[in-house]
Structure 1
């Protein structure tokens, strides 16, 4: 391992920078869901294009997340963190200044690439810099807590910005924060790398990315459904073949693909974000299209979900140890499914009391489920593969998010009335989440 440490390093400052890296990625995600209605009006974009505004980011993030972690180990974690921040800034600038919806989608894809470099590098730096396990656990807790803070800050701040300044501001807001990470990091963060036994799995990356892209196209563009399926199936087979040939240096070694506990955790994580991201995309859009709330009001109305998650997520670890990871996952998924089912009866969010109750239940379920899912994924493999398992479950989460926005958005658009489409989409989302709860119950954890 190579490491160069600046003099007088303050680890609190380092942790603050690494948390900023998480913040820009997560705030960006939560804010864009509020902005899609205004983007559609401003750039005359139909619903499928708005789905790509969200899924362009999710897809590039999911497809490159595991390679981002490998590049951090090979080229230097601080260097990759800086590159990720630079790419994220460029993507945000392109989105914020976009003259057309196609340029905006391109900016979102670029921002997703930046996130796929930023997030693994920031977590890897915590693992290296905080050598003591207890101190590291605290640092990771603060780092992970930034996700919850972003869920609360993003919609509230974003709604106000959209209402007062315009939708472009939610992208441009990220630029100074990203520049702070880019310019501040080399001054205080020690460089480290560990290239031993690591290399970029280009065939696995290519075929895996092609498979995910084909799935996203199939979910969003109905007229391209069968051609996309025709690409996805061979890509999946070629991915497995490439990983078998690569052996121990594969992006996802075949033994991990055959690991039942890891597969269960990935399936539960995917089902959770399928429903959750579908809600976060369609509920604000329905509020704004129906004139129920303005952007500021919609941002505030999303708070029950984020506040419930922030308030309870730190308890999921102790409760998981006391009651078991599998019951916690099953209960969490059941509550998320119940919350989305309640939303299905909210008449496209017009019955605000029902909508708020559904969001609260969803947030509680997310808090109970997220920690045990991540812990189960890491515990399902030997310590040497913990990083790969962590990257796999986070990739599964983003794949679920991509498909949730694509599939549920298409269900929403297929109905002649907005309330009918919303109810059908939420019913489908709840069904997938309940299936995830059954998966947690039926598979040993």
Structure 2
């Protein structure tokens, strides 16, 4: 795509702005959960659905949105997504009870599902040079990290100054500015030839993700032996198996299973899933700990998450720059080690622990995400041919969003179940911290493996074969 350097930069930054809005909104809502519970009389499981309704729809539609962008035009799909996201944000702000809010968060995610994969595909196409593309994708990944860091600050401030509704209202003027800029600055592009839409695969993916998340959340409040949990579990197993059978046979699958023959792509996808599982689960539990257990005001709780935000916001752009210069392996290993340290500090927390221990642990979580997110994105996309950049990016993004959804579901469910069993909050939360500890170890191993000579050779062979 023959564009001037300034036009490329402007288009990239506008794409990043759309993704930034969605990422800030997602993380800001976590700080507002106790306030939502108080005003709308929501239970812990309903709070999980406020977060997971967005994350589930997002994860379910990311690959479809990437395919639609390739087929219908990436700029067109991006603008449509921004408009839907903005309109649903306004409806979220008007919700008078918890279930309408949950449904509008799901609608918001329909628009949000276009932002990451389509923006990433646009960036990949306007930077055909591989080294330039790696740097640009690193910046994109850094913006995602900055958004994750800014969310708690903005969420706490909005709740304190206005109410939880302000988080959604804030999206409206930003979207109103972003849409005209996309129309003016971002070039239109399509895939040649366009990908067909895998409707059976999409339906099975939605069924699997929704049923497994429903089962996990309900286990926390109802236990394993209830009929709704049993039905959801069976449905998850059947739809999951059917999904992989269908995807292995259709000519143009929703999920390109052959991508996973590349160790580089597979390891990047796995690390993305685990880091976002850990991050989202931690943020969900941490905000309940600060506001419900320690009885802190939303603004103070938000500011106690500022160290996480600052570390993330500082490290994310540095990581985006560094990955283009030195590669992804060292940064992913450093991120895994930081997450390992955070998990150890959280496990060691007791009733007498100071807030400093929690703050240091949260800073290490921010450091882990800030260091690892940009290289994970770069590695996933650069491990595939340019012609498959949109689908590869959407697959990696889906893994991260599914990780977020299951992180909230699993850590929220284990916390809820152990609280119902009569355990104090610190003890109830410890199971989640142990899971983060285990995942950090897996991330370290996967990060090391992705940079081996064997993994790089396999990835290059797949790229050349395409």
TM-score normalized by structure 2?
0.85
2:436 to 429, 433, 440: 429
Measured at CA, do residues 376 and 419 of structure 1 come closer, stay the same or move farther in structure 2, by a change above 3 Å? same
The SS at the match of 2:163 is coil
Aligned partner of 1:420 in structure 2 is 427
Instruction: Answer yes or no: is the 8 Å Cα contact 1:287–1:349 preserved in 2.
Output: no
Q: Note the C-alpha offset of 1:288.
A: 0.9
Pick closer, same or farther for the CA change 1:245–1:400 going to 2, 3 Å. same
The residue that corresponds to 2:61 in the other structure is: 64
Superimposed CA distance per residue, residues 205-242 of structure 1 (whole angstroms, 9 cap, x where no aligned partner): 11112111122112211143332221112212221222
The match for 2:458 is none
SS at structure 2 position matched to 1:98: coil
Q: Is contact 2:139–2:321 with CA below 8 Å preserved after alignment?
A: no
Distance in 1 separating the partners of 2:91 and 2:145: 27
Structure 1 position 49 matched with structure 2 position 53:
no
Question: Which of 352, 357, 365 lines up with 1:354 in the alignment?
Answer: 357
| Matches for 1:380-395 after TM superposition, within 5 Å | 380-395=383-398
- The correspondence for 2:271, drawn from 268, 271, 292, is 268
Worse-superposed segment, 346-355 or 176-185: 346-355
Q: Distance in 2 between matches of 1:382 and 1:128?
A: 12
Aligned 1:136-215 pairs, distance under 5 A: 139-215=136-212
Query: 1:151 aligns to what SS in structure 2?
Result: helix
Q: CA-to-partner distance for each residue in 1:87-120, whole Å, 9 max, x for gaps? A: 1112212211111111101111111111111222
Q: What is the deviation of 1:334?
A: 2.8
Contact kept? 2:138, 2:319, Cα under 8 Å? no
After TM superposition, the structure 1 = structure 2 runs for residues 227-238 of structure 1, keeping only pairs within 5 Å, are 227-238=231-242
Structure 1 residue ranges without an equivalent (≥5): none
Residues 1:234 and 1:348: Cα distance change in structure 2 (over 3 Å): farther
Distance in 2 between the 1:116 and 1:108 partners? 12
**1:52-106 deviations in whole A, cap 9, x for unaligned?**
1111111111111111111111111111111101111122122111111111011
How high is the TM-score relative to the length of structure 1?
0.89
Cα RMSD (Å): 2.9
In structure 2, relative to structure 1, the CA distance for the partners of 1:387 and 1:117 (3 Å cut) is: closer
Question: Are 2:310 and 1:307 aligned?
Answer: yes
Change (3 A) 1:330 1:19: closer
Contact 1:78 1:192 in 2 (8 A): yes
Aligned pair partner of 2:380 in 371, 377, 380: 377
- Whole-Å separation in 1 of the counterparts to 2:182 and 2:382: 32
C-alpha deviations, 1:161-184, integer Å up to 9, x for none? 101211111111112212322344
CA deviations on 1:308-350 (whole Å, 9 max, x unpaired) are 2233334547866898755543442232122033123334896
How far apart, in 2, do the equivalents of 1:162 and 1:390 lie? 34
Q: Which moved more, 1:431-440 or 1:413-422?
A: 431-440
What is the count of residue pairs matched by the alignment?
440
2:401 counterpart (392, 395, 398): 398
CA distance in 2, matches of 1:336, 1:132: 33
1:21 is matched with: 18
**Residue equivalent to 1:106:** 103
Flag the 1:261–1:14 CA change in 2: closer, same or farther, 3 A. Answer: closer
CA contact (8 A) 1:312 1:364 kept: yes
- Give the SS at the match of 1:191: coil
Between 1:203-212 and 1:185-194, the stretch displaced more is 185-194
Give how far 1:405 is off. Answer: 0.4
Pick the aligned partner of 1:225 from 225, 229, 237: 229
Alignment match, 2:283: 280
CA contact (8 A) 1:28 1:154 kept: yes
Contact 1:345 1:354 in 2 (8 A): no
TM superposition shift of 1:414? 1.7
Q: Are 1:252 and 2:249 an aligned pair? A: no
* 1:335-350 alignment, distance < 5 Å: 335-347=338-350
Q: Distance in 2 between matches of 1:20 and 1:349?
A: 42
The 1:27–1:123 alpha-carbon spacing in structure 2 relative to 1, beyond 3 Å, is same
Name the SS of the counterpart of 2:249 in structure 1: helix
Cα deviation for residue 139 of structure 1 reads 4.6
- More deviation in 58-67 or 127-136? 127-136
